[in-house]
């Protein structure tokens, strides 16, 4: 996956997640209390991240899942700081409050899903995954083929 594609996928995510933020402020906050609106928005944001990256992220030569995760999270934090500070006019302290998971802020979970997305949907350049693939639930030796199954002996006593 080229740097151009990595940044392109991130730019699409930035647009989609900005839409999520607008939806939260325009529709969810007036309808729900702020904590509930933030929770719904965080869940929707994680769903947007996972669905978008599932559709668009592919591994390949020179691919580093860790590098992609760092680029995406770094660009996202930079975007949030620039837009929050210079467009929304928020103070730095107010921006940092979004990272206080211990105060019920869910933004760190959204960032964690963004960092995890390359690992969730791809293999690394050597074709390995971090966790072994799940095994099918079959008996040892595999399921017997229809030709090897025997009919029960009727009348054997």
Residue spans of the domains in the chain: they are 3-123
Residue 84 has pLDDT above 90, yes or no: yes
- Structure confidence at residue 121 (pLDDT): 87
Residue-wise pLDDT tens digits, 62-75: 678 999 999 999 99
- Which of these ranges, 13-17, 94-98, 121-125, has the smallest mean pLDDT? 121-125
Helix residue spans in 24-138 (DSSP H): 29-31, 34-56, 65-82, 92-97, 107-121
Q: Given CA atoms 136, 140, 141, 146 in this order, what sign does their dihedral have?
A: negative
Instruction: Give the rounded distance of the alpha carbon of 99 from its chain centre.
Output: 18
Residue 112 has pLDDT above 90, yes or no: yes
Label residue 135 by pLDDT band (50, 70, 90): very low
- Structure confidence at residue 31 (pLDDT): 93
Residue 138 has pLDDT above 90, yes or no: no
Question: Which comes out higher in pLDDT, residue 125 or 32?
Answer: 32
Alpha carbons within 13 A on the beta-carbon side of 46: 15
Q: Given CA atoms 5, 8, 10, 12 in this order, what sign does their dihedral have?
A: negative
């Amino acid at each position: 996956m080229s740097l151009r594609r990595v940044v392109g996928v991130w730019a699409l995510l930035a647009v989609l997640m900005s839409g999520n933020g607008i939806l939260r402020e325009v529709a969810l906050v007036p309808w729900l209390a702020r904590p509930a609106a933030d929770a719904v928005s965080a869940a929707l944001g994680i769903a947007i991240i996972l669905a978008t990256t599932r559709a668009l992220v592919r591994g390949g030569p020179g691919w580093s899942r860790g590098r992609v995760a760092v680029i995406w999270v770094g660009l996202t934090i930079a975007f949030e700081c620039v837009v929050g500070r210079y467009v929304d006019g928020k103070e730095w302290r107010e921006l940092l409050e979004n990272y206080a998971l211990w105060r019920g802020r869910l933004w760190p979970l959204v960032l964690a899903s963004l960092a995890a997305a390359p690992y969730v949907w791809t293999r690394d350049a050597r074709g390995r995954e971090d966790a072994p693939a799940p095994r099918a639930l079959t008996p040892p030796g595999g399921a017997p083929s229809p030709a090897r199954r025997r009919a029960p002996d009727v009348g054997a006593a």
